[in-house]
Structure 1
């Protein structure tokens, strides 16, 4: 097991109160675990260089009645077969679909794929989220 290091942090009382509320809301067992999660997330985000290999998800909400949108999405996805691991398609209501795409590859390629999908007419909302193993 890695050696633990203890350190003190001084923060504004209002910020501390909000942090305590977040800890309770999310169900953390300790402040330390919450701080570790925040540090891990910041390190993963910081490590995202364009040529770095990463994993992530692209989430899209779109109007499937938009003319030719589903065909455009499929065409783009077929152009990135080496990056797409899996897709999940969910029917939200009569007009809207949710698609979650698990992806892998260089950060720049995944951003390009995401941009191509998220800027299509008829896509209502979407987001690329990177994840990784803590450094």
Structure 2
């Protein structure tokens, strides 16, 4: 590990300390390492450098919507190369939560997630992408 020295203004330091407290970091160094990783991940995404990833796709949908459950299942079967596992939860008589673990080329994972969450009667869709080439 390398030791570095940085200068941070008082306002930013106060914000950082609040975040450290709220998230329960053991020290400032660990918080700054996490922020650096997040920044590098975002920069790689913006520059199109991400090549492979694992993703967690979660979405809520109305299983009573015409043919939607069948179309969603068909999409997962059509992308068996990306879909590692899925969890299906019945939230109430009309709505279901689906959580899918995806793995593959980042562009393909994002495209597949967009095709799912853009379906009519799919709500609250979100994809968390974790690059596999970054430490």
> Fold-level match, TM-score > 0.5?
yes
> Which residue, 39, 42, 59 being the options, matches 1:42?
39
Q: How many residue pairs are counted as aligned between the two chains?
A: 132
Q: Is residue 50–residue 106 contact of structure 1 (8 Å, CA) maintained in 2?
A: no
SS in structure 2 at match of 1:90: strand
Q: Is residue 86–residue 101 contact of structure 2 (8 Å, CA) maintained in 1?
A: yes
The 4+ residue runs of structure 1 with deviation greater than 6 A are: none
Residue in structure 1 matched with residue 103 of structure 2 by the alignment: 104
Q: Is residue 58–residue 97 contact of structure 2 (8 Å, CA) maintained in 1?
A: yes
> Which residue, 14, 17, 20 being the options, matches 2:14?
17
Residue in structure 2 matched with residue 5 of structure 1 by the alignment: 3
What is the TM-score with the length of structure 2 in the denominator?
0.87
For 2:49 and 2:55, how far apart are their aligned partners in 1? 14
What is the TM-score with the length of structure 1 in the denominator?
0.87
SS in structure 1 at match of 2:9: coil
For structure 1, list consecutive stretches of 5 or more residues without a partner in the other structure. none
For structure 2, list consecutive stretches of 5 or more residues without a partner in the other structure. none
